[in-house]
Amino acid sequence: MSNRLKELRKSKGLTLKDIQEQIGIKRSTYGDYENDNTEPKLETWQKLADYFKVSVPYLQGISDDPVDLKSWEEATGYSSDQILSELKQLKDSGRSTGNIQNDIGSVVAKLSRLPSGYGVDSAISFVEIELMNLQSDIENKYFIDPEKKQKLRIEHGDTGHPVSHKKEFYYDDVDPEILDYINNVLIETSRIISNGTDIIKNQSDEQSTVLLKESIKRLQDLIESLPNKSDD
C-alpha cells in the first residue's frame, strides 16, 4: 500500500520545488515521503491533507474516500447522504471555505444545531447561549460584591458554608428582585426566539401571531409582577 502524495502533487501540476515554496517541506524530505522512505508525523499528514483538500486516510492510501465520510458517519451519526446534501447547500450559498474537512465540520455543526454551525438553527443556539452568558455576566459584574464573597469564603471555607443563596454575596445597594426580573425576561426571550422561529417556519401565520401575542403578554405580566416600591 502506497500513499497518494505523488499522485496528488502531479494531478495539480506541482513540482517538488512548488511544494517546498507553498507548504514549507524540503524537496528531499517530500521526495522521501512520496517514496515511503520516511513516514510524516501526524501533524504533517494533516497539514498535507488540508493542502490537498482530502482526508488523511485517503492521503495515506488507507481509504479510497477523499473526504472520509464513513468516519464522519461513525463519529456523528449523520448519514453520508445528509452530509453530502448539506455540503451542496453550503457550496450553493457561497459559504464553502474550499477545505472539505472544514466544510464537513460546519455542516455537522449545523445539523447538530451548534453555534459553530450556520443557518437559522445555529443562530438560535448562539442566541440562547449568549443570553445564558448575559445572565451570568450581569450578576457577576453588577450584583456580586467580590469582597463580601471572598470574606464569606474565608470565614466558612469553599464548601460547607451556611450561605443559602448567592444573594448573600450581593452589594448592599442593589435590589435582587431587579436581577430576578432581568433573568426572567432573558429566559422568556430565549423561549420566544426558539419556539417562535419553529412555528414561523413550520406553521401558519395565524399560529405565529398567537404565539407572539402570548409572548408579549408573558413579558407584560413579568413587568407587572415587580413590587411597587412606592407602596412600601
**135 shares its domain with 200:** yes
Identify the three-state secondary structure at position 144: strand
Per-residue pLDDT of 208-232, as tens digits, reads: 667 667 777 776 776 676 555 444 4
| 25/123 Cα distance (integer angstroms) | 40
Which is it for the CA torsion 119, 124, 129, 131, positive or negative?
positive
Cβ within 8 Å of residue 110, ≥6 positions away:
86, 117, 118, 119, 121, 122
**224 shares its domain with 132:** yes
Query: All 3 cell numbers of residue 100?
Result: 472539505
* Residue carrying the nine cell digits 422568556: 188
State the pLDDT at residue 143. 93
**129 shares its domain with 195:** yes
Give the DSSP per-residue string, 204-226: -HHHHHHHHHHHHHHHHHHHHTS
**142 shares its domain with 216:** yes
**166 shares its domain with 227:** yes
**223 shares its domain with 130:** yes
Q: Which of 80, 111, 142 is the last residue of a domain?
A: 111
DSSP 161: -
Cβ within 8 Å of residue 178, ≥6 positions away:
none
**141 shares its domain with 88:** no
**143 shares its domain with 216:** yes
| 179/151 Cα distance (integer angstroms) | 23
What's the number of domains the chain is made of? 3
- Give the pLDDT mean for 166-184: 88
- Cα-Cα-Cα-Cα torsion 40, 44, 50, 55, nearest 10 degrees, comes to 40
Give the residue, 162 or 16, on which the prediction is more confident: 16
| List of long-range contacts for 131-137, beta carbons under 8 Å, 24+ apart | 131/186, 131/187, 131/189, 131/190, 132/186, 132/190, 134/186, 135/182, 135/183, 135/186
Give the residue, 91 or 2, on which the prediction is more confident: 91
**43 shares its domain with 127:** no
- Give the pLDDT mean for 108-130: 90
Q: Which of 60, 78, 101 is the last residue of a domain?
A: 60
State the pLDDT at residue 229. 45
| 174/182 Cα distance (integer angstroms) | 13
Per-residue pLDDT of 66-104, as tens digits, reads: 888 888 888 899 998 999 899 999 999 999 988 888 899
* Residue carrying the nine cell digits 470574606: 151
pLDDT-derived band at 29, boundaries 50, 70, 90 = very high
**150 shares its domain with 208:** yes
**107 shares its domain with 125:** no
**128 shares its domain with 227:** yes
Exposed, middle or buried, 67 (CB in 10 Å: 0-12/13-18/19+)? buried
State the pLDDT at residue 106. 92
Q: How many helices (H) and strands (E) does the chain have?
A: 12, 0
**Residue 12: CATH number of its domain:** 1.10.260.40
| 21/9 Cα distance (integer angstroms) | 13
* Residue carrying the nine cell digits 431587579: 178
Domain containing 176 equals 120-231
